[in-house]
Structure 1
């Protein structure tokens, strides 16, 4: 009898775990991704609806910190530094808080992003950037709170908050020209030492064209100002695979000396083992 009761209890527990009730969220989650110029912007937030309520000045009181959405933090991330009202906001992830008022909003980019709603203790030192924005009155109702990236240009866009009959926009500038010029300069300058090294490594590991691998690793070694020991290590392996044991030993000794100087015991042992193996007649 006890075994039957135990089995039934297990069945009920299993059913309880598996039969999770799924219902729509009152404030569903939304993720917005937008590229502005060459900068990626992502926003994660929850979207409450009006539901016949007065929002600003009632549901969302004037003069008090608002989570700018619902549930956990509204979070924005930038892949590059951006400029807002002449101040640089470093690339990274921030929570957004606001203080709505009838004639002006304060918008805060806050350092911590793991709060549920407002922080338990509002910490002024965690305000990375604060800007003021003037609300616009819309001629229509926005039923569900919406954050958007609009009026996009290669060099700027507006971060917009809209709900009820209110729209608030914060313009931010992105470093498109700087990033584009850096990309052009890098591309026109040709492959880097790391590019040549990666190419040589691919040919070696995939049993590809070893002569081409040797050319690439030589270029990588010549271009890199610090002459990394892992570069010379790869060169020695390519030489050995091509049958040039004498050249491989000489190159391995260069890698060994550099690895000993950097106290990298793994590379020291690998080079010592290879030198011993290639020295055998």
Structure 2
């Protein structure tokens, strides 16, 4: 009897292990995430990446002029940590699904408020934005479906969708970057005390965005007064004073920045200062 009980236990153990056994194999359309800070906003795209595998894609596997989930498996999703502007369309912070209607010469790109929607569940009434973009032919085939960021600037970037030999691109913009940064400067500068990083960041933003250079000079001079051992800070001081035609002060700052960069073993800043010194008359 005892032997029979043991055999029964072994039988159920085998059945149980078989029922729960799983093979771990490569996914035909592996999941991927790509993220990018655009302006001051975190943008993330989550999608699955089907491959060509010798198949014709647009007009065949992916029909023209029909709503497509823009990838494989679950809906492709895009999320923004702050309100954003896509091709001139205003969108609130949050998560959206990306659908598209591919055509031979142009695509309709759709951002839908239902982030979990599938093609079968797609509801046009929930569209948050819709716009058209022209197709571009790439010089090479993209074997795997790819979504990527490019042309990243201070407050904008481009999103590219590429597969087979077709690429579509659209713009994404953080529309309130300047307002946000100026608000931070207004709030933090009066309370900066001996925080040279705040003065440096404010001066850098003013210099890079063609704002009040006299004010930028005051802030960068304050940063150097607090800490005169940072070669990158002194290099900015040299650039600001050179732009204001304060050539003596610019040369002095550039020479000091070069000396500090040499001590730190930073060849890039040595070259930058040499180039700046050669441009100052």
Q: State the TM-score, normalizing by the size of structure 2.
A: 0.63
CA displacement 1:204-247 (0-9 Å, x = unmatched): xxxxxxxxxxxxxxxxxxxxxxxxxxxxxxxxxxxxxxxxxxxx
- Verify the 8 A CA contact 2:100 2:110 in the aligned structure 1: yes
**Corresponding position of 1:97:** 99
Larger Rg: 1
CA displacement 1:164-218 (0-9 Å, x = unmatched): 1111001111132222223223323549xxxxxxxxxxxxxxxxxxxxxxxxxxx
In structure 2, the residue corresponding to 1:135 is in which secondary structure?
Answer: strand
Could you tell me how far apart the structure 1 residues matched to 2:8 and 2:178 are? 70
Q: Tell me how far 1:81 sits from its aligned partner.
A: 1.0
Mark the runs of 5 or more structure 2 residues left unpaired by the alignment.
193-281
Could you tell me how far apart the structure 1 residues matched to 2:113 and 2:182 are? 31
**Corresponding position of 2:109:** 107
Q: Tell me how far 1:14 sits from its aligned partner.
A: 4.2
* Correspondences of 1:17-32 after superposition (within 5 Å): 19-32=21-34
In structure 1, the residue corresponding to 2:61 is in which secondary structure?
Answer: coil
Mark the runs of 5 or more structure 1 residues left unpaired by the alignment.
192-281
Could you tell me how far apart the structure 2 residues matched to 1:90 and 1:159 are? 18
* Correspondences of 1:191-210 after superposition (within 5 Å): none
Could you tell me how far apart the structure 2 residues matched to 1:134 and 1:27 are? 26
Could you tell me how far apart the structure 1 residues matched to 2:120 and 2:83 are? 25
**Corresponding position of 1:149:** 149
**Corresponding position of 1:167:** 167
**Corresponding position of 2:65:** 63
CA displacement 1:123-153 (0-9 Å, x = unmatched): 2210000011001011110110000111110
In structure 2, the residue corresponding to 1:15 is in which secondary structure?
Answer: helix
4+ runs deviating over 4 angstroms: none
In structure 1, the residue corresponding to 2:104 is in which secondary structure?
Answer: coil
In structure 2, the residue corresponding to 1:162 is in which secondary structure?
Answer: strand
May I ask how many residue pairs the two structures share in their alignment?
A: 189
Candidates 56, 72, 75, aligned match of 1:73: 75
Q: State the TM-score, normalizing by the size of structure 1.
A: 0.63
**Corresponding position of 2:46:** 44
2:181 matched to 1:180?
yes
In structure 2, the residue corresponding to 1:146 is in which secondary structure?
Answer: strand
In structure 1, the residue corresponding to 2:172 is in which secondary structure?
Answer: strand
- Verify the 8 A CA contact 2:39 2:173 in the aligned structure 1: no
RMSD, aligned CA = 1.8
**Corresponding position of 1:202:** none
Could you tell me how far apart the structure 2 residues matched to 1:89 and 1:189 are? 34
- Verify the 8 A CA contact 2:106 2:135 in the aligned structure 1: yes
Q: Tell me how far 1:69 sits from its aligned partner.
A: 0.3
Using a 3 Å threshold, how does the CA distance of structure 1 residues 13 and 179 change in structure 2: closer, same or farther? Answer: farther
Could you tell me how far apart the structure 1 residues matched to 2:155 and 2:167 are? 22
- Verify the 8 A CA contact 2:133 2:168 in the aligned structure 1: yes
